[in-house]
Amino acid sequence: MEHVQWGVLSTADIAQTQLIPAVNRASNAKMTAIASASGKAEEAAKRLGIPKFYNSYEELLRDPDIDAVYIPLPNHLHMEWAIKAMEHGKHVLCEKPMTLNAEEAKAIEAAVKKNGVKFMEAFMYQFHPQHQRVRDIIASGEIGEVKMMKASFSFFLEQRETNIRMNKDMGGGSIYDVGCYCLHAIRNVLSTEPLHIEAKKQLDPVSGVDLSAEGFVTLENGVQAVFDCSMDMFSRQEYEIIGTKGRILVPRPFRPDLFGGEGLVIVQKDKQERVERIHGDIYLLEVEHFSQAVLDDTEPAYALESSINNMRAIDMCYESNFQNV
């Protein structure tokens, strides 16, 4: 097998605009089939040049030609369809957050072990080389001892009446949608796990979902972290690491693809500032990495255990005793 043959469950926008084009750019992957439960698969397949289409997810999973599936379904359906896909022997790339809580994530872990397949949560941003550069700068001691990390991700959600992000039963809310990136970045860049999180949520009075949230994170390595996320603010994405001798600012951490794939790493110290420009195609890097893990029968660099730990961090946010306002 020289290429992984991919199928997609649903015609979600992220699949059509990001993941499917990335598979088409990949050297080790081919987009073979798309399925939709709403009758949209045929039109999408013709428009996107996908050879096969199915009008149910089950039909696609029964296709013996499909090696791996991408799941961009609403959050509350991730566990169900990831497990069903694995029971059909398919490798799974599942959109973030992988589930609604850590307990569901453990069920996915059990299915991975039972069926002998690969699973990876689709935090595509982490494959951009700017984050490894940040870790290298920290390790070099250039900014001294790390004392704090701050991460932010927000956007203003339009047409809220029809958006699934406003449906609590479907896994709506800002923490699930964009706060998960902030938590992941804190864990990923600092290579540590949260001991405790206090999170304050601003709830929508009608739907009950968290429109915005701020969290205060105590980490195992003693560093303090702060994050904020929102579906009710101007679009922004950034993180910074503050040390005893300087700081690192990353102003395009989560969606560098919006800037042609260019990430920025800004180092400030001794009244001087250095800007490093680093390029990467995050969706292509994600697809090629997971596809190669399938071809080589190796474990993805982003381990399932780390995904479960990110769900535990999300659980801490939603279980926080910091009273909602």
Peptide bond connecting 97 to the previous residue in cis, omega within 30 degrees of 0: yes
Computed on alpha carbons and rounded to an integer, the radius of gyration of the chain in Å comes to: 20
Residue 258 DSSP symbol: G
- For CA atoms 173, 178, 181, 186, the dihedral sign is negative
171 with 76: CB under 8 angstroms? yes
Active-site amino acid positions: 96
Residue 179 DSSP symbol: I
Which run of H or of E encompasses 32? Answer: strand 29-35
Which run of H or of E encompasses 317? Answer: helix 304-319
DSSP secondary structure letters along 51-83: SEEESSHHHHHT-TT--EEEE-S-GGGHHHHHH
Three-state SS sequence of 229-246: EECEEEEEEEEEEEECCC
